[in-house]
Amino acid sequence: MKTYRYSPQGTCSVRMEFTLDEDHVLQDFAVERGCNGNLKGIRALIVGMKAEDVIAKLDGIRCGMKTTSCPDQIAKGLVLALNGELAEVGR
């Protein structure tokens, strides 16, 4: 398993950390700051899903008048991790 840390842009959350197994299944997900209840709900829905499926569902979601959202930033972080553009935590 690999754990990644992502700093989202344009959202209330300031750090996202997720763990993917070798099949790209999300094993854990945590967020620092942001809308606590909503992010707990998102976590409950996406843990156990393949990263590619999470990306397909969350990419492009907007928050109000913003051009992004926490769900959109989750998708962006996962894309970076899958493309090898995010360093693993602890490396």
Q: Model confidence at 91, in pLDDT bands (50, 70, 90)? A: low
Q: What is the pLDDT of residues 6-54, one digit of tens each?
A: 999 999 999 999 999 999 999 999 999 999 999 999 999 999 999 999 9
Structure tokens at 89: 């935590």
Edge-to-edge strands, sheet with 2-6: 2-6, 15-20, 26-32
